[in-house]
Chain A
């Protein structure tokens, strides 16, 4: 009896443990999170950690690096090209973001009005966002070409100019040119997101403000802007992050030239790490972007965080 009974109870105990585990909310919850956590670790945490590690080594392509502490950062701090790229990145981000916001808000307000062919105009506004970045960058490359530029051609034909503009050969021309390309590329995102925000504002608020005696300008100032501020915070955070880390446009149009005048931190990192083979130094440049990005996030988080009126609850 005992010989037969023992394995049966053992099996029963094991299966009941298994069943109980699956009935436990905590265990089940943990099980459901496993795939997501695995993906996050594999594709986000591990590369990030590897990046940090590489930045502390002198790894070259094909070689195993040694740990050298902060030496990469020390040498970068004396590297004028690195500091130029920091300047370029900030310049690029500040100007492109401000103009993208201004044009995006203007377009969103326009598209929120009753317009003829509204849906068609909306679709057109989205176009730059739909075209693959590299393709639009190549188009800009042609527009800015020193011999075939359509802008120069039109201006000369119109008699406004006597010689072709050297868009990408002069450092400041090149900087403004890539900023412009980035603005063209980034406006739809800002415009469509702000438009979505505008449409959540109840029309009766405008009617009430109208009856209260507000002019158009006052309605914008006292209703639209404050109601839109949470969306603006989110959009601008994303816009700044995407602009700061931009790579494709620059790499396609200028490759960082002329004389590094348009090198952003991202393109410089790529050039040093992949083209130049110094993986350690490239990773260090990438890591140097992190403080800027964290600062941008914190700024938008604290500066435009959810104001008191948005928080629910009663007291």
Chain B
């Protein structure tokens, strides 16, 4: 187990810079999730950490050692690939023991460690099978087994669940988290799925276009997103954004599209008339008599909750209710955001106010 320090790391492919100076401190034993849309550079960063890509500038250290020029095999890391990268011509046991065999470990030790990893992952009955004879979830577990057997300083996961079906993904999510709680090995996990990030991470790093937008615990990111990108990326369904202005005359309000008035707890200093973006999460709407007028467009019940798409001041917003309201398309309702938990962003910079 080791801490990992990523300091001002840049990466260029030819003249094209994809990472623009990324700094991420990772503590020993932490489960860090790099999350962001496709092309944000998260996988590239992980591959640089693994040593599969060169570092253009900046430093990456594992423990006390700067690994910029250290060969992948000498970094003492294990990686789980998106397509699992299991050796098709080796059995499950051989796949898991391959790294030990290359290190000339004795067959007794290999057997012992493979057996232990197989027990942890419930793979014991499958040890003699070939990857082709396994289901997607089993292959995924073999790939993790291969990493566990090594007992490395750091685990790297590159979108490991994206090839699984939805139900299995949820199950494996829990399994990986449980595994981390048991082994306490420093883990860096890349995904584009913010729900995976929220549910698994000790610390989430939101990346976008080659920079870190925000780092923090899942709830910090949910409660206090630094900017509009993070606010829109974290949370499902996504946060609603309404453009408008702050009005301060006696009581602070937000004047949205088509004169819609929405409540503010307090206005940022000297912000009267300032163009802002008003952000409200779908779960923070309530039906209240003093709410703003809205017209229901679509109602999507999921059982535990109901998603309601409505027109608010001409803009479409989505609200989520745990109560079972009887809504029909075309109904007029009064939607009120909870002023304690709304978010204001500068319209020009997207920064939180």
Q: How far is the CB of B152 from chain A (nearest CB, A)?
A: 9
Is A214 a contact partner of B102 (Cβ separation < 8 A)?
yes
Q: Does B321 contact A (CB under 8 A)?
A: no
Interface string of B7-44 (1 = CB under 8 A from A): 00000000000000000000000000000000000000
Interface string of A17-31 (1 = CB under 8 A from B): 000000000000000
Is B85 a contact partner of A202 (Cβ separation < 8 A)?
yes
Is B83 a contact partner of A202 (Cβ separation < 8 A)?
yes
Q: A57-107: which residues lie under 8 A (CB-CB) from chain B?
A: none
A311 to B129 CA separation, bound complex (whole angstroms): 12
Is B81 a contact partner of A307 (Cβ separation < 8 A)?
no
Interface string of B281-324 (1 = CB under 8 A from A): 00000000000000000000000000000000000000000000
Q: A207-B81, A210-B52, A212-B98 are in contact. Are A315 and B133 (CB under 8 A)?
A: yes
Interface string of B62-99 (1 = CB under 8 A from A): 00000000001100011101010101111000000011
Interface string of A220-242 (1 = CB under 8 A from B): 00110011000000000000000
Please indicate the chain A residues that have their CB under 8 angstroms from the CB of B99 in the complex: 211-213
Please indicate the chain B residues that have their CB under 8 angstroms from the CB of A207 in the complex: 50, 52, 72, 79, 81, 85
Q: A208-B81, A211-B78, A218-B102 are in contact. Are A309 and B132 (CB under 8 A)?
A: yes
Q: How far is the CB of A11 from chain B (nearest CB, A)?
A: 58
Q: Does A308 contact B (CB under 8 A)?
A: yes
Q: Which of B72, B132, B146 contacts A210 (CB 8 A)?
A: B72
Is B102 a contact partner of A205 (Cβ separation < 8 A)?
no
A213 to B51 CA separation, bound complex (whole angstroms): 12
Q: How far is the CB of A104 from chain B (nearest CB, A)?
A: 22
Q: A222-B98, A309-B130 are in contact. Are A213 and B79 (CB under 8 A)?
A: no
A227 to B87 CA separation, bound complex (whole angstroms): 9
Q: A204-B85, A205-B85 are in contact. Are A212 and B90 (CB under 8 A)?
A: no
Q: Does B103 contact A (CB under 8 A)?
A: yes
Please indicate the chain A residues that have their CB under 8 angstroms from the CB of B133 in the complex: 313-315
A310 to B130 CA separation, bound complex (whole angstroms): 9
Please indicate the chain B residues that have their CB under 8 angstroms from the CB of A307 in the complex: 89
Q: A223-B87, A314-B133 are in contact. Are A210 and B73 (CB under 8 A)?
A: yes
Interface residue range, chain A: 20 to 34
Please indicate the chain A residues that have their CB under 8 angstroms from the CB of B90 in the complex: 309
Residue ID in chain B nearest A201 by CB atoms: B88
Q: Which of A211, A222, A308 contacts B79 (CB 8 A)?
A: A211
Q: How far is the CB of B150 from chain A (nearest CB, A)?
A: 8
A157 to B144 CA separation, bound complex (whole angstroms): 65
Q: How far is the CB of A279 from chain B (nearest CB, A)?
A: 50
Please indicate the chain A residues that have their CB under 8 angstroms from the CB of B132 in the complex: 309-313
Please indicate the chain A residues that have their CB under 8 angstroms from the CB of B72 in the complex: 207, 210-211
A314 to B85 CA separation, bound complex (whole angstroms): 19
Is B73 a contact partner of A309 (Cβ separation < 8 A)?
no
Is A211 a contact partner of B83 (Cβ separation < 8 A)?
no
Residue ID in chain A nearest B99 by CB atoms: A212
Is B103 a contact partner of A226 (Cβ separation < 8 A)?
no
A202 to B133 CA separation, bound complex (whole angstroms): 19
Residue ID in chain B nearest A204 by CB atoms: B85
Query: What are 23 inter-chain pairs, A to B, with CB distance below 8 A?
Result: A202-B85, A204-B81, A204-B83, A205-B87, A207-B72, A207-B81, A208-B79, A208-B81, A210-B52, A210-B72, A211-B72, A211-B73, A211-B79, A212-B73, A212-B99, A212-B102, A212-B146, A212-B150, A213-B99, A223-B87, A227-B89, A307-B89, A310-B89
Other than A211-B50, A211-B78, give 5 A-B pairs with Cβ distance below 8 A.
A207-B81, A213-B73, A213-B99, A213-B102, A314-B133
Q: Which 8 A-B pairs have the closest CB atoms?
A: A212-B99, A213-B73, A208-B85, A204-B85, A226-B89, A309-B130, A309-B89, A213-B102
**A residues with CB within 8 A of B:** 202, 204-205, 207-214, 218, 222-223, 226-227, 307-315
